[in-house]
Amino acid sequence: MLEFEGKKAIVTGATRGIGRAITEALLARGATVAGIYGGNREAAEAMAGDNDRYGEQLRLIRLDVADYAAVADFCAGLEAEWDTLDILVNNAGIRRDAVLAMMGEEQWRRVLDVNLTGGFNMAKLALPLMLKQKYGRIVFITSPMGRLGFAGQANYAASKAGQIGLMKSLSKEVAKRKITVNSVSPGFIATELLDDLSEAHVKEYKKMVPANRFGTPAEVAEAVLFLAGDRAAYINGAVLEVTGGL
Protein backbone atom coordinates (compact mmCIF):
# COMPACT_ATOMS: atom_id res chain seq x y z
CA MET A 1 0.00 0.00 0.00
CA LEU A 2 1.28 3.45 -0.91
CA GLU A 3 1.95 5.77 2.05
CA PHE A 4 -0.82 8.25 1.20
CA GLU A 5 -3.28 5.97 -0.56
CA GLY A 6 -6.82 7.08 0.26
CA LYS A 7 -5.67 10.45 1.62
CA LYS A 8 -7.09 13.73 0.36
CA ALA A 9 -4.80 16.75 0.05
CA ILE A 10 -4.87 20.40 -0.96
CA VAL A 11 -1.68 22.06 -2.20
CA THR A 12 -1.65 25.77 -2.99
CA GLY A 13 0.76 27.17 -5.54
CA ALA A 14 0.69 23.67 -6.96
CA THR A 15 1.75 24.02 -10.58
CA ARG A 16 5.30 25.35 -10.42
CA GLY A 17 8.53 24.87 -8.52
CA ILE A 18 8.23 23.59 -4.97
CA GLY A 19 4.43 23.31 -5.12
CA ARG A 20 4.55 21.14 -8.22
CA ALA A 21 7.18 18.88 -6.64
CA ILE A 22 5.03 18.46 -3.51
CA THR A 23 1.92 17.74 -5.57
CA GLU A 24 3.64 15.17 -7.74
CA ALA A 25 5.24 13.48 -4.73
CA LEU A 26 1.83 13.15 -3.05
CA LEU A 27 0.31 11.76 -6.25
CA ALA A 28 3.11 9.23 -6.65
CA ARG A 29 2.43 7.98 -3.12
CA GLY A 30 -1.28 7.52 -3.69
CA ALA A 31 -2.93 10.76 -2.53
CA THR A 32 -5.78 12.52 -4.29
CA VAL A 33 -4.79 16.17 -4.69
CA ALA A 34 -6.64 19.40 -5.33
CA GLY A 35 -3.91 21.62 -6.71
CA ILE A 36 -4.54 25.36 -6.42
CA TYR A 37 -2.88 27.84 -8.77
CA GLY A 38 -3.17 31.59 -8.98
CA GLY A 39 -3.16 32.58 -12.62
CA ASN A 40 -0.53 30.90 -14.77
CA ARG A 41 -2.77 28.81 -17.01
CA GLU A 42 0.12 27.64 -19.18
CA ALA A 43 1.92 26.14 -16.18
CA ALA A 44 -1.30 24.44 -15.09
CA GLU A 45 -1.91 22.97 -18.53
CA ALA A 46 1.67 21.72 -18.74
CA MET A 47 1.41 20.08 -15.33
CA ALA A 48 -1.93 18.48 -16.18
CA GLY A 49 -0.49 17.05 -19.37
CA ASP A 50 2.62 15.71 -17.66
CA ASN A 51 0.50 14.01 -14.99
CA ASP A 52 -2.47 12.76 -16.99
CA ARG A 53 -1.68 9.20 -15.90
CA TYR A 54 -3.13 10.04 -12.48
CA GLY A 55 -6.57 10.75 -13.92
CA GLU A 56 -9.05 11.86 -11.26
CA GLN A 57 -6.36 11.75 -8.57
CA LEU A 58 -5.35 15.26 -9.64
CA ARG A 59 -7.59 18.25 -10.04
CA LEU A 60 -6.20 21.71 -10.75
CA ILE A 61 -8.27 24.71 -9.65
CA ARG A 62 -7.62 28.37 -10.36
CA LEU A 63 -8.18 30.32 -7.14
CA ASP A 64 -6.91 33.51 -5.52
CA VAL A 65 -6.10 32.34 -2.00
CA ALA A 66 -6.25 35.95 -0.80
CA ASP A 67 -9.96 36.14 -1.70
CA TYR A 68 -11.78 34.91 1.42
CA ALA A 69 -15.17 34.49 -0.28
CA ALA A 70 -13.67 32.53 -3.18
CA VAL A 71 -11.78 30.24 -0.80
CA ALA A 72 -14.97 29.72 1.24
CA ASP A 73 -16.85 28.67 -1.91
CA PHE A 74 -14.06 26.31 -2.91
CA CYS A 75 -13.90 24.65 0.52
CA ALA A 76 -17.69 24.30 0.69
CA GLY A 77 -17.70 22.54 -2.67
CA LEU A 78 -14.81 20.32 -1.61
CA GLU A 79 -16.59 19.34 1.60
CA ALA A 80 -19.68 18.33 -0.35
CA GLU A 81 -17.60 16.15 -2.64
CA TRP A 82 -14.81 14.75 -0.49
CA ASP A 83 -16.31 14.84 3.02
CA THR A 84 -12.77 14.52 4.45
CA LEU A 85 -9.46 16.35 4.18
CA ASP A 86 -6.21 14.91 5.46
CA ILE A 87 -3.47 17.27 4.28
CA LEU A 88 -3.22 20.99 3.55
CA VAL A 89 0.03 22.44 2.20
CA ASN A 90 0.05 26.24 2.20
CA ASN A 91 2.70 26.87 -0.43
CA ALA A 92 1.28 29.77 -2.48
CA GLY A 93 3.61 32.74 -2.34
CA ILE A 94 4.79 35.74 -4.32
CA ARG A 95 7.58 38.31 -4.18
CA ARG A 96 7.45 42.01 -5.03
CA ASP A 97 10.96 43.13 -4.07
CA ALA A 98 11.97 46.72 -3.37
CA VAL A 99 13.84 48.56 -0.64
CA LEU A 100 11.36 49.91 1.87
CA ALA A 101 11.88 53.57 0.92
CA MET A 102 10.85 52.72 -2.64
CA MET A 103 8.21 50.09 -1.90
CA GLY A 104 4.70 50.95 -3.01
CA GLU A 105 1.70 50.26 -0.82
CA GLU A 106 0.40 47.77 -3.39
CA GLN A 107 3.71 45.87 -3.33
CA TRP A 108 3.46 45.59 0.44
CA ARG A 109 -0.21 44.71 0.59
CA ARG A 110 -0.33 42.11 -2.20
CA VAL A 111 2.57 40.09 -0.78
CA LEU A 112 0.99 40.06 2.68
CA ASP A 113 -2.42 39.24 1.16
CA VAL A 114 -1.21 36.19 -0.76
CA ASN A 115 1.51 34.85 1.51
CA LEU A 116 -0.01 35.45 4.94
CA THR A 117 -3.73 36.15 4.56
CA GLY A 118 -3.93 33.41 1.92
CA GLY A 119 -2.51 30.93 4.41
CA PHE A 120 -5.02 32.09 7.03
CA ASN A 121 -7.91 31.76 4.58
CA MET A 122 -6.98 28.24 3.52
CA ALA A 123 -6.27 26.99 7.05
CA LYS A 124 -9.40 28.49 8.60
CA LEU A 125 -11.79 27.36 5.88
CA ALA A 126 -10.31 23.89 5.33
CA LEU A 127 -9.99 23.17 9.05
CA PRO A 128 -13.62 22.07 9.67
CA LEU A 129 -13.06 18.97 7.53
CA MET A 130 -10.08 18.00 9.69
CA LEU A 131 -11.84 18.84 12.96
CA LYS A 132 -14.78 16.65 11.97
CA GLN A 133 -12.62 13.59 11.47
CA LYS A 134 -10.20 14.48 14.31
CA TYR A 135 -7.18 14.13 12.09
CA GLY A 136 -5.12 16.37 9.85
CA ARG A 137 -1.76 17.64 8.72
CA ILE A 138 -1.20 21.30 7.86
CA VAL A 139 2.18 22.39 6.49
CA PHE A 140 3.17 25.97 5.74
CA ILE A 141 6.01 26.69 3.33
CA THR A 142 7.82 29.57 4.95
CA SER A 143 11.35 30.95 4.53
CA PRO A 144 14.52 31.69 6.51
CA MET A 145 13.89 35.31 5.51
CA GLY A 146 11.07 35.34 8.09
CA ARG A 147 13.76 35.00 10.74
CA LEU A 148 16.79 36.62 9.11
CA GLY A 149 15.30 39.35 6.93
CA PHE A 150 16.81 40.34 3.60
CA ALA A 151 17.48 43.71 2.03
CA GLY A 152 14.76 44.58 -0.46
CA GLN A 153 12.34 41.98 0.92
CA ALA A 154 10.68 43.63 3.92
CA ASN A 155 7.23 42.64 2.64
CA TYR A 156 8.24 39.04 1.91
CA ALA A 157 10.14 38.64 5.20
CA ALA A 158 7.23 40.07 7.17
CA SER A 159 4.78 37.70 5.49
CA LYS A 160 6.98 34.71 6.25
CA ALA A 161 7.52 35.74 9.88
CA GLY A 162 3.75 36.07 10.16
CA GLN A 163 3.27 32.58 8.76
CA ILE A 164 5.47 31.17 11.51
CA GLY A 165 3.47 32.95 14.20
CA LEU A 166 0.20 31.77 12.64
CA MET A 167 1.49 28.20 12.41
CA LYS A 168 2.72 28.08 16.00
CA SER A 169 -0.52 29.53 17.38
CA LEU A 170 -2.74 27.22 15.33
CA SER A 171 -0.66 24.19 16.31
CA LYS A 172 -1.60 24.78 19.95
CA GLU A 173 -5.30 25.19 19.17
CA VAL A 174 -5.84 21.94 17.28
CA ALA A 175 -3.36 19.46 18.75
CA LYS A 176 -5.99 17.73 20.90
CA ARG A 177 -7.88 16.85 17.71
CA LYS A 178 -4.84 14.95 16.38
CA ILE A 179 -4.11 17.72 13.90
CA THR A 180 -0.50 18.85 13.55
CA VAL A 181 0.60 22.19 12.11
CA ASN A 182 4.21 22.66 11.05
CA SER A 183 6.37 24.60 8.61
CA VAL A 184 9.06 23.72 6.11
CA SER A 185 11.53 26.55 5.56
CA PRO A 186 13.40 26.18 2.24
CA GLY A 187 16.56 28.17 1.61
CA PHE A 188 17.87 28.84 -1.87
CA ILE A 189 16.00 26.36 -4.06
CA ALA A 190 16.52 26.03 -7.82
CA THR A 191 13.15 27.26 -9.08
CA GLU A 192 11.93 29.96 -11.44
CA LEU A 193 11.97 32.41 -8.50
CA LEU A 194 15.77 32.48 -8.83
CA ASP A 195 15.79 32.81 -12.61
CA ASP A 196 16.19 36.58 -12.43
CA LEU A 197 19.44 36.36 -10.46
CA SER A 198 22.64 37.37 -12.20
CA GLU A 199 25.52 34.90 -12.44
CA ALA A 200 27.40 36.99 -9.87
CA HIS A 201 24.50 36.79 -7.43
CA VAL A 202 24.20 33.03 -7.93
CA LYS A 203 27.86 32.59 -7.02
CA GLU A 204 27.50 34.93 -4.04
CA TYR A 205 24.45 33.13 -2.67
CA LYS A 206 25.97 29.69 -3.12
CA LYS A 207 28.93 30.82 -1.03
CA MET A 208 26.49 31.61 1.78
CA VAL A 209 25.33 27.99 1.87
CA PRO A 210 27.65 25.51 3.63
CA ALA A 211 26.49 22.81 1.18
CA ASN A 212 27.73 25.14 -1.62
CA ARG A 213 24.73 24.48 -3.83
CA PHE A 214 21.07 25.34 -4.21
CA GLY A 215 18.52 22.78 -3.11
CA THR A 216 15.99 21.08 -5.38
CA PRO A 217 12.19 21.21 -5.19
CA ALA A 218 12.19 17.43 -4.71
CA GLU A 219 14.28 17.77 -1.55
CA VAL A 220 11.76 20.23 -0.11
CA ALA A 221 8.90 17.91 -1.08
CA GLU A 222 10.44 15.05 0.89
CA ALA A 223 10.47 17.20 4.05
CA VAL A 224 6.83 18.17 3.50
CA LEU A 225 5.74 14.57 2.99
CA PHE A 226 7.50 13.52 6.17
CA LEU A 227 5.54 16.11 8.19
CA ALA A 228 2.34 15.17 6.35
CA GLY A 229 2.69 11.50 7.24
CA ASP A 230 1.90 9.45 10.30
CA ARG A 231 5.57 9.10 11.26
CA ALA A 232 5.54 12.78 12.26
CA ALA A 233 2.50 12.51 14.53
CA TYR A 234 4.36 13.94 17.56
CA ILE A 235 5.96 16.83 15.67
CA ASN A 236 3.85 19.95 16.10
CA GLY A 237 4.57 23.67 15.88
CA ALA A 238 8.00 23.02 14.35
CA VAL A 239 9.97 24.76 11.62
CA LEU A 240 11.97 22.27 9.57
CA GLU A 241 14.74 24.03 7.69
CA VAL A 242 15.77 22.73 4.26
CA THR A 243 18.62 25.15 3.68
CA GLY A 244 21.86 23.23 3.25
CA GLY A 245 22.95 24.76 6.57
CA LEU A 246 22.31 28.40 5.59
Q: So which residues are the catalytic ones?
A: 156
Q: 3-state DSSP call for residue 62?
A: strand
Q: How far apart are CA 246 and CA 244, in angstroms?
A: 6
Q: How far apart are CA 97 and CA 202, in angstroms?
A: 17
Q: In this structure, are residues 122 and 172 in contact, taking their beta carbons and an 8 Å threshold?
A: no
Q: How far apart are CA 125 and CA 131, in angstroms?
A: 11
Tell me the DSSP string of 90-154: E-------B-GGG--HHHHHHHHIIIIIHHHHHHHHHHHHHHHHT-EEEEEE--THHHH--TTBH
Q: How far apart are CA 20 and CA 22, in angstroms?
A: 5
Cα–chain-centroid distance for residue 11? 7
Q: 3-state DSSP call for residue 38?
A: coil
